[in-house]
């Protein structure tokens, strides 16, 4: 005999916040380094684009 089907119930807003906070506390260092890496790449790309733009504008 197979088990009865699971009923999926949406989480309440408090449960979502609690799970997100627990996840962030558990993985803070990894998420911080990942965020830092993305921001650093974004900063470098923005600076390079600005430099190229100024170079083509003749400044």
Res. 13: pLDDT tops 90: yes
Give the pLDDT of residue 59.
64
Res. 2: pLDDT tops 90: no
DSSP string, 18-43: HHHHHHHHHTHHHHHHHHHHHHHHHH
Sorted by sequence, the CB contacts under 8 Å of residue 41 that are 6+ apart come out as none
Give the pLDDT of residue 1.
73
Quick: pLDDT tens for 29-52: 999 999 999 999 999 999 999 999
- Average the pLDDT over each of 2-6, 11-15, 44-48 and give the range with the smallest value: 2-6
């Amino acid at each position: 005999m197979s088990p009865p089907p699971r009923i999926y119930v949406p989480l309440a807003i408090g449960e979502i916040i609690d799970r997100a906070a627990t996840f962030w506390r558990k993985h803070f260092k990894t998420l911080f380094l990942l965020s830092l890496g993305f921001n650093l790449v974004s900063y470098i790309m923005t600076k390079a684009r600005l430099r190229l733009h100024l170079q083509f504008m003749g400044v």
